[in-house]
Structure 1
Amino acid sequence: MKNAYMQQVRALIAGGSDLLLVETIFDSLNAKAALVAIREVFDQDGLTASNKELPVMISAAVGRGGETLISAQTTEAFWNAVQHVKPLSVGLNCSLGPDLMYPFLDELATKADVAISCYPNAGLPNPLSETGFDLGPQDMARYLGDFARAGLINIAGGCCGNTPEHIAAIAKALEGQPPRQLTRQIERAA
């Protein structure tokens, strides 16, 4: 698995990627394999922050109890398992929808000293709804606006079930909202 991730990392770098996103992590061992692969590519290929070492973002999917879906780590345990990478951001995506995500996002924002991302599903899947998910654009805007007003997020968006209308509503709801304050400075890649 690590070797497959290494091939993907090299292809993304060769293709001109600006950052590497390890996302929808449902198992911390898979995340670790991807993160080790990224580090090994940077080291083996002689990459440094000044000549192509890309920022890394990490985002996990969680279940109803806030645990990662296969390894059943709590949100805090997941952060503890990946923080050594010093990612640009860590966050939650996909999963349950924003209505059930708040306490886990709050826990992550309390523990992590990097930017927090959040891009949830538009609720749970529902084959009877127009988009296949329960929440409409205004619902998503309300929830992510609440996250921003609570000072929980730096990066926002939508995952499964979000349409361009959902993203536009989220963007409008977040307009003028201050980002979450970080407890340490984020080092930006040149």
Structure 2
Amino acid sequence: VVGALGPTPKTASISPDVNDPGARNTSFEELRKAYYEQTQALVKGGSDVLLIETIFDTLNAKAALFAIDEYFDNSGERLPLIISGTVTDASGRILSGQTVTAFWHSVRHAQPLAIGLNCALGAALMRPYIQELAKAAPDTFISCYPNAGLPNPMSDTGFDETPDVTSRLLREFAEEGLVNIVGGCCGTTPEHISAIHQAVAPLAGRVLQKSYFYQEAA
């Protein structure tokens, strides 16, 4: 069971007012308290893994990581972490401005089980950023769960990609040795997930390399 901590509708480092760049609608401390409460509920509810997902602001993610670590220290129980950011457009950056590589280096101290990307983009548009992340984090599992392409109000699911298309693209990711964990985000259906499973099940996962970063930190 994976307990998910979402991004919240507020951001610690992006102004909600284009006319006031310094304005903020929340603080690190407010986010820390909210994430601590979520962590406590998710762990007590039986989560085996915690997932910080759809991250569009690295500072929000840091507040979540701080709260999780605080809860782990207080409870004496630790669970594996998965961290998943969201690249929203062809800039290759999350909304708070970090590239995929910079985002990874901002959160790698948490030593997550996996680092990945989800939401906003379909698999085809997400490919270069997954490639970048796989190169930047050779010692950590890579997760990828894209949207079913781009929004399309004429589609039954509201998105472009059929299960066959999404599963074929994610199979290509696996064949390239880019990913360890795959799935679907907005617009994906049980049929998408089933097709993805069938497409990647015969393939080996991405092989991890030794972590020099953690050896030096120790």
TM-score, length basis structure 1? 0.92
Aligned 1:1-190 pairs, distance under 5 A: 1-45=31-75, 47=76, 52-63=77-88, 64-68=90-94, 70-112=95-137, 113-184=139-210
Q: Secondary structure at the match of 2:52?
A: strand
Q: In the aligned structure 2, how far is the partner of 1:174 from the partner of 1:14?
A: 33
Unaligned 5+ residue runs, structure 1? 186-190
Q: Secondary structure at the match of 2:121?
A: coil
Q: Secondary structure at the match of 1:79?
A: helix
Q: In the aligned structure 1, how far is the partner of 2:176 from the partner of 2:91?
A: 21
The Cα RMSD (Å) is 1.0
1:99 maps to a residue whose letter is: A
1:116 maps to a residue whose letter is: I
Question: 1:114 touches 1:184 (CA, 8 Å); kept in 2?
Answer: no
Q: Secondary structure at the match of 1:95?
A: strand
Unaligned 5+ residue runs, structure 2? 1-30, 212-218
2:112 maps to a residue whose letter is: P
Q: Secondary structure at the match of 1:82?
A: helix
Deviations 1:16-56 (A, max 9, x none): 110110000001011000000001111122x1xxxx31001
Identity among equivalent positions (%) equals 55
Q: 1:135 Cα shift?
A: 0.3
- More contact order relative to length (CA 8 Å, sep ≥ 6): 1
TM-score, length basis structure 2? 0.80
Greater Rg, structure 1 or structure 2?
A: 2
Q: In the aligned structure 2, how far is the partner of 1:96 from the partner of 1:115?
A: 20
